[in-house]
Chain A
Amino acid sequence: MLRNVRIWFEKKGSAKYISHLDLTRCMSRALRASALPVWYTEGFNPRVYMTFGMPLSLGITGKRECMDIRLTEDMPLEKIQERLNLRLPLDLRVLEAAEPLAKLETIRWADYSYRMETTDSTLLEKAFEKLFSLEAVTVLKHTKKGEKEFDIKPYFQKMIFDARESSFLTAQVLLPCSVEGSINPALLLDALQKYSGEEPYTEICRNRLLTKDFLELR
């Protein structure tokens, strides 16, 4: 018997500084220590089978991240959450273990939010307006083949500013997020710094993973 289970978890606080590779090791140890009946890969070097949604960039909080595992024995799904949380650091929390409804490969988009600290949010919003009035907004993008100039304007044009207090500004944006290519939300801050010199302290958060129809992945 093999049963696919999708683990939904939160990666917050200091855990946002854990790299994807360290996250996989951490999850693997937690799964082993919790003595859940997990399925191991059958290669020469057996490992706990885990497949993650889309890796989260370092420094970004994940509100609802996911990974798939396989169980070799059936068990109540609430137990998984309970047992894993005992074995995970406090800033990594399992929210839910559930039946996967769509494949991880159907992820196309991610919903990000920004919270930027500033002394004057009106000025900061103006800086963004000016930024997007430009013909093209190019930043250096790190790729496997080296660095290249990249125009981010098409991706960020539809960004919505949703809360303005005197001391901070928040914004929401949907960005491509799939195996075919993703846009790192931090590129926006690179552009802001490059064109206006502003460097507000910013918390970026990935809220949800979406499929091609902009529906939340389940």
Chain B
Amino acid sequence: MNSILKDPQETDVRFAFCFPDIYEIGMSHLGLKILYGAINQVPYFWCERVFAPWIDMEACLLEQHIPLYALESGDAVKKFDFVGFTLQYELSYTNVLNMLKLAEIPLRSTERGEEFPLVVGGGPCACNPEPLADFFDLFMLGDGEEVILELLELYRDCKANRLHKKGFLQKASQIKGVYVPSLYQVAYREDGTILSYTPQDGAPAKIEKRVVQNMDSAYYPDSMVVPIIDIVHNRISEEVLRGCIRGCRFCQAGFLYRPFREKGIPTIDQQCRALCESTGYDEISLSSLSTSDYSKLNELIDTMHDWTEKDKVSISLPSLRVDGFSPELMQRINSVRKSGLTFAPEAGSQRLRDVINKNVTEEELLHTVKVAFHEGWNKIKLYFMIGLPTETLEDVLAILRLGKNVVDAFYEDRERPKGKGVEVTLSAAAFVPKPFTPFQWFGQDSMEEMQKKQYTLKDHIPTKRLTVNYHDAKTSYLEAVFARGDRKLGAVLELACKRGLRFDSWDDCFDFSTWMTLFSELNIDPDFYAVRQREFSEVFPWDHLDYGISKEFLIKECERAYAAKTTPNCREKCAGCGASCYGGGLCVEKRANLV
């Protein structure tokens, strides 16, 4: 419902927005909805959706020789002008290549003549797209809603003037936020690390990410495609802010999306009304990296209640921080089913939480869960990471102690609901160091170390009220390889695609032993990327990409981490990360206060 159909004869540029995972996941993605709306509001552009077919559908397509097609028109993806991938997680890279293969488009950009579409990408993984550099014509860095339109306008001009691809790419490389990998020559040192990136044909030495300055005037759709089948997040997503003030040192998104920019209450209110009218949804999720950091959250919800109560629309808040949860807030949102609450302390001991700059104390957590228990909740889920820098087995055991203390807090409450037990789930993910974070130099724990920590957790569960879950260390290892990978990994991905690997983030399809065979066949050591500790002096494959965060700042933060020193959040004190160069958001608001 609400999908957009246009006459191909009357459109100049056709864009296939590809989400490299299944429909149910891709359709839950907000970025798709924003860019789909932004492109389609231009009459002569037509953006359509493409998802990765699940293995049964894939088999049918292959058997019937049907090339991958877009959902709106049913036309083959290879007939489009652009094939655009959103790169949300590293383990979707094989799906990207597999989708190109199913679309009958040659994988390497050098093998695609003028008759094939341009393959472009964006999203968080575009901050180090090097493993995919051989397959893409260009990447867009940072916020996409403006740069994608500039790119399509340029293409429209070039198409009218019959300019060839190479000419278009040269011009495109001059647009701020556009990275054309083929215009950069990479030289390596003998030890396999990067020596230099040399730009060619007038391409900029540093490619700056794009930033949408004003969230109130930025494009936001007033209608969204509503799936008829159920999907993962089947509700309205309203982005209330972009960026994050917290500066947790493990979190890539917290650095990539700086500066912190909020939408005003009237904007949010009006956008939500329009979306409710056009979709008929009865639930709005106020989404962002950390919605409880919205400066006037209570006022916003009160404003929206003027109409949401009458129209029977419920408001939900994802990603609550331990210190952002209050009874007042809970009473304001129609959280009807008191089933479960999730918090992310991320580390078990205070020392380690200081290392990662997760400024939450055990006291705050216990206070919050007590409030929640008192209000009738009895299921708490706590997210942790293992394999964090400086972590010892003592820190791992502290996760269990914290869990036990939460269980005890439930039984201390004499007015707890009768007849109900408490269930606390501890979920421990394996830490993956990412580019543009203070931990980008850190060598990931080996799989053996990771497994040892997981067994430690499993073997010491103190009470039946605690359940411990952890993820397979193997997928985190592979994720770490590609997160900080370079162009040499392109060959691995290409071979992986040839051998039929895809859906690596799905347990049903993940095949670790084949991956290891590929690495050894190609004589590439995955440990070089995942577990090797880097020097501060090393040149990284993403150093020519500029996300506004200075390397000096990241080094300083890294040193503070190892000294277990915390850094105040952006609202308390500017830490000088460099994002103020964009002259927008909280960086400027704070300055205004100082004057």
- Binary contact readout A44-73 vs B (1 if CB under 8 angstroms, 0 otherwise): 111100000000000000000000000000
List, in ascending order, chain B residues with CB within 8 A of A40's CB: 312
Q: Provide the bound-state CA to CA distance between A75 and B281, in Å.
A: 24
Query: A21: shortest Cβ distance to chain B, in Å?
Result: 7
Q: Which one of B229, B277, B282 lies within 8 Å of A22 (CB-CB)?
A: B229
Q: Are B279 and A29 in contact (CB under 8 A)?
A: yes
A209 cross-chain contacts in B, Cβ below 8 A:
none
Complex alpha-carbon distance, A26 and B311, angstroms: 17
Known A-B contacts A40-B312, A44-B336, A46-B312; A33 and B279 likewise in contact (beta carbons under 8 Å): yes
For B226, what are the chain A residues with a Cβ–Cβ distance below 8 Å? Answer: 29
B592 contacts A by Cβ under 8 Å: no
Closest chain-A Cβ to B230's Cβ sits at a distance in Å of: 6
* B residues 272-313 in Cβ contact with A at 8 Å: 276-282, 311-312
Across the interface, name the chain A residue whose C-beta is closest to B314: A45
Interface flag for B1 (CB, 8 Å): yes
B280 near A32 with CB under 8 A, answer: yes
- Interface assignment of B228: CB less than 8 Å from any CB of chain A: yes
A18, A25, A31, A47 — which one has the most chain B CB atoms within 10 A of its CB? A25
Measured between beta carbons, the chain A residues less than 8 angstroms from B336 are 44-45
Rounded to whole angstroms, the CA-CA distance of A47 and B283 in the bound complex is 12
Main secondary structure of the interface of B (DSSP, over half): loop
Instruction: Name the contact of B228 in the complex, choosing from A22, A33, A47 (C-beta under 8 A).
Output: A22
The digit string for B354-393, where 1 denotes a CB below 8 A from any CB of A, is 0000000000000000000000000000000000000000
Whose C-beta in chain B lies nearest to the C-beta of A40? B312
Most chain A beta-carbon neighbours within 10 Å: one of B1, B234, B278, B336: B1
Q: Is the CB of A31 within 8 A of B280?
A: yes
Chain A residue with Cβ nearest B226: A29
Indicate if A87 sits at the interface (CB-CB under 8 A): yes
Known: A33-B277, A40-B312. A18 touches B228 (CB 8 A): yes
Query: Is the C-beta of A28 less than 8 angstroms from some C-beta in chain B?
Result: yes
User: Are the C-beta atoms of B230 and A21 separated by less than 8 Å?
Assistant: yes
By the criterion of a CB under 8 Å from any partner CB, how many residues of chain A are at the interface?
23
Could you mark each residue 74-90 of chain A with 1 if its beta carbon is under 8 Å from any beta carbon of chain B, else 0?
00000000000001110
Give the number of A-B contacts (CB < 8 Å).
44
Looking at the complex, which one of A21, A45, A87 makes contact with B280 (CB distance below 8 Å)?
Answer: A87
C-alpha gap A35/B279 in the complex (Å): 11
Q: How far is the CA of A69 from the CA of B311 in the complex (A)?
A: 17
List chain B residues, Cβ under 8 A from A35: 277
Contact (A18, B312) CB under 8 Å given A29-B280, A33-B280, A89-B1: no
**A30 and B230 in contact, given A40-B312, A45-B336 (Cβ under 8 angstroms):** no
In Å, the complex CA distance between A25 and B226 comes to: 11
> Within the complex, what minimum Cβ distance (angstroms) separates B35 from chain A?
23
Verify B281–A29 contact, CB threshold 8 A.
yes
B side interface size, CB within 8 A: 17
Residue of B nearest to A89 (CB): B1
| Contact, CB under 8 Å: A89 / B228 | yes
Question: Residue of B at shortest CB range from A19?
Answer: B229
Quick one: which of A1-43 are within 8 Å of B by CB? 15, 18-19, 21-22, 25-26, 28-35, 40
A residues near B228, Cβ cutoff 8 Å? 15, 18, 22, 26, 89
Cα distance, A15 to B228, chains bound together (Å): 9
Cα distance A121–B161 when bound, in Å? 58
* Contacts A22-B228, A22-B229, A89-B228; A28 near B312 (Cβ below 8 A): no
A43 CB to closest chain B CB, in angstroms? 10
Contact A28:B280 (CB < 8 A) given known A22-B229, A44-B336, A89-B228: yes
Q: How near does chain A come to B273, taking the closest CB pair, in angstroms?
A: 12
Bound complex: CA A26 to CA B1 (Å): 9
Smallest beta-carbon distance B281→chain A, Å: 6
CA distance A208 to B337 in the complex (A): 39
Least CB distance from B154 to A in Å reads 35
8 Å CB interface, B302-350 against A: 311-312, 336-337
Contact A18:B229 (CB < 8 A) given known A46-B312, A89-B1? yes
CB within 8 Å for A33 and B278 given contacts A40-B312, A44-B336, A46-B312: yes
CA distance A45 to B283 in the complex (A): 12
Contacting residues, chain B, for A31 (C-beta < 8 A): 280
Cα A196 to Cα B80 with chains together (Å) = 47
- CB closest chain-A residue, reference B278: A33
CA distance A89 to B229 in the complex (A): 12
Which residue of chain A has its CB nearest to the CB of B282? A32
Most buried by A among B1, B280, B282: B280
Complex: chain B residue closest to A91, CB-CB = B228
Nearest to B227 among chain A residues (CB) is A22
A34: which B residues are within 8 A, CB to CB?
280
The complex places the Cα of A211 from the Cα of B6 at a distance, in Å, of 45
- Mask, B96-109, CB within 8 Å of A = 1, is 00000000000000
Q: What CA separation (Å) do A77 and B234 show in the bound complex?
A: 31
Kindly provide the distance from the CB of A95 to the nearest chain B CB, expressed in whole angstroms.
19
Among B229, B276, B280, B337, the residue within 8 A (CB) of A30 is B280
Q: What CA separation (Å) do A6 and B228 show in the bound complex?
A: 22
Provide the residues of chain B in CB contact with A25, threshold 8 Å.
230, 234
> Quick check: A22 and B230 within 8 Å, CB to CB?
yes
For window 29-87 of B, CB contacts with A under 8 Å fall at: none
Q: Complex formed: what's the CA distance from A22 to B231 in Å?
A: 10
Contacts of A26 in B (CB 8 A): 1, 228
A22 — which chain B residues lie within 8 A by C-beta? 228-230
Chain B residues with CB below 8 A from A47, complex form: 282
* Min C-beta distance of A45 to chain B, whole Å: 5
Please, which residues of chain B bring their CB within 8 A of the CB of A15?
Answer: 228
A34 to B311, CA, bound (A): 12
Separation of A34 and B281 alpha carbons in the complex (Å)? 11
CA distance A28 to B313 in the complex (A): 13
Q: Give min CB distance, B359 to chain A, whole Å.
A: 36
B279: chain A residues within 8 A (beta carbon): 29, 33
How far, in angstroms, from A88 to B226 measured CA to CA in the complex? 11
A22 to B228, CA, bound (A): 6
A32 to chain B, nearest CB (A): 4
The residues of A that contact B234 with a CB separation of less than 8 Å are 25
B228 nearest CB across to chain A (Å): 5
Alpha-carbon distance A151/B40, docked complex (angstroms): 55
Report how far A45 CA is from B502 CA in the complex, Å.
Answer: 41
Bound complex: CA A64 to CA B280 (Å): 24
Nearest Cβ on chain A to B369's Cβ, whole angstroms? 24
Nearest CB to that of B311 among chain A residues?
Answer: A32
18 other A-B residue contacts (CB within 8 Å) besides A40-B312, A45-B336: A15-B228, A18-B228, A21-B230, A22-B228, A22-B229, A25-B234, A28-B280, A28-B282, A29-B226, A29-B280, A29-B282, A30-B280, A32-B281, A33-B277, A33-B278, A35-B277, A88-B1, A89-B1
The 16 sampled A-B contact pairs (Cβ below 8 Å) are A19-B229, A21-B230, A22-B228, A28-B280, A31-B280, A32-B280, A33-B278, A33-B280, A34-B280, A35-B277, A40-B312, A45-B336, A45-B337, A87-B1, A89-B1, A89-B228
- What 6 A-B pairs come out closest when comparing CB atoms? A33-B280, A29-B280, A32-B280, A46-B312, A45-B336, A26-B228
